[in-house]
Amino acid sequence: MSGMNGTRTTSRRPAWRHVAFGALVGAGATLGVGLVVDGIGWVVNDLTADQVIGANIGLGMATFAARLVATPLAGWWLLRRLEVPRPGLAALVGAIVYVVLAWTLAGDPALPGAVLAWLPLGALAGAAGAGAACAVGRRVSAAGRG
């Protein structure tokens, strides 16, 4: 962070702007990717449900795996556009936090109730990821000044 006179500061305060961006991106990416992937899953299920017995189980696992991969990638891309420090680390930490929260807080329910769970879980995970990435970024830059 830069001070008023252009010098670098070593403040230990969190970068609240980046944490807020992380929360917005986490909620948006989780909701957007979740709706798109589950929508594709519904279409595929409607097209193949009567042709393959048990296909919906595999389809459910595939949609969960696709969300688990696509959501951090969407978050990373959006965080890069918003110039949040270390967007890759923020997306990785956010994904880990999301999985832990979803598992411990009654899981990831089926639609339409899932949307109510996705927004706060995504926002918390995004904020945690952005906050952790910003904190690591400050420690690395402070340690590198020797």
| Residue 84 is assigned to a structural domain of this protein | yes
- The secondary element (H helix, E strand) that includes residue 146 is none
User: Per the domain annotation, does 5 fall within a domain?
Assistant: no
Residue 1: pLDDT over 50: no
Residue 97 lies in a domain: yes
**Is 125 among the domain residues?**
yes
Model confidence pLDDT, tens digit, residues 30-55 = 999 988 998 898 888 888 777 777 77
Sorted by sequence, the CB contacts under 8 Å of residue 90 that are 6+ apart come out as: 22, 75, 76, 79, 84, 126, 129, 130, 132, 133, 134
- 3 lies in a domain? no
Tell me which range, 8-12, 65-69, 73-77, 81-85, is most confidently predicted by mean pLDDT: 73-77
Domain that holds residue 56: 20-140
Report pTM. 0.74
Alpha helices in the chain (DSSP H): 16-48, 55-81, 87-104, 113-143
Distance CA 34, CA 54 (A): 22
Confidence of residue 134 (pLDDT cuts 50, 70, 90): confident
The string of pLDDT tens digits covering residues 110-126 is 566 677 777 888 899 99
Q: What percent of the chain has pLDDT over 70?
A: 76
Q: Is residue 8 part of a domain?
A: no
Mean pLDDT, the chain, integer: 80
- Say which amino acid occupies 127: A
8 A C-beta contact, residue 24 and residue 84: no
Task: Count how many domains the chain has.
Answer: 1
| Domain annotation covers residue 145 | no
Q: Mean of the pLDDT values across residues 102-110?
A: 63
